[in-house]
Amino acid sequence: MNKKNKSIKQSEIENSPKEIVVNYIKTSNYRSYHIDGIYGGVTPNGKIYAELFIQRSVTPKSIKYKVQDGILKEEIERMGKEGIVREIESGVVMDIETARIFKDWLDSKISEYDKRIKRK
């Protein structure tokens, strides 16, 4: 056995701290995102990836209106793409253990939400 990789002794486990404070610090790049959905899958190297998106109607390239007495009236023609747009806000990649922790965290928040709604 390599001396650097000594196994943990029972006394070290017993003497380890029973509590620890974790401080959360936001980086200068921190941003809050609104999301309407998620898309993703499994990467070739076995990670889970998720792309978070907002969903909205398409913004037209241009709209032609009738004009009467200098006032815009009804729309005559709309030019541009059709359908809906999903703007991908960000993507995350995690290993399976982190994905399980994330799933459990989401499940607990959904349960908390359901309990609050039922009380009202």
pLDDT (tens digit per residue) in 46-56: 999 999 999 99
Three-class SS string for 29-82? CCCCCCCCEEEEEECCCCCEEEEEEEEEECCCCEEEEEEECCEEEEEEEEECCC
Max mean pLDDT range (1-5, 47-51, 86-90): 47-51
pTM: 0.64
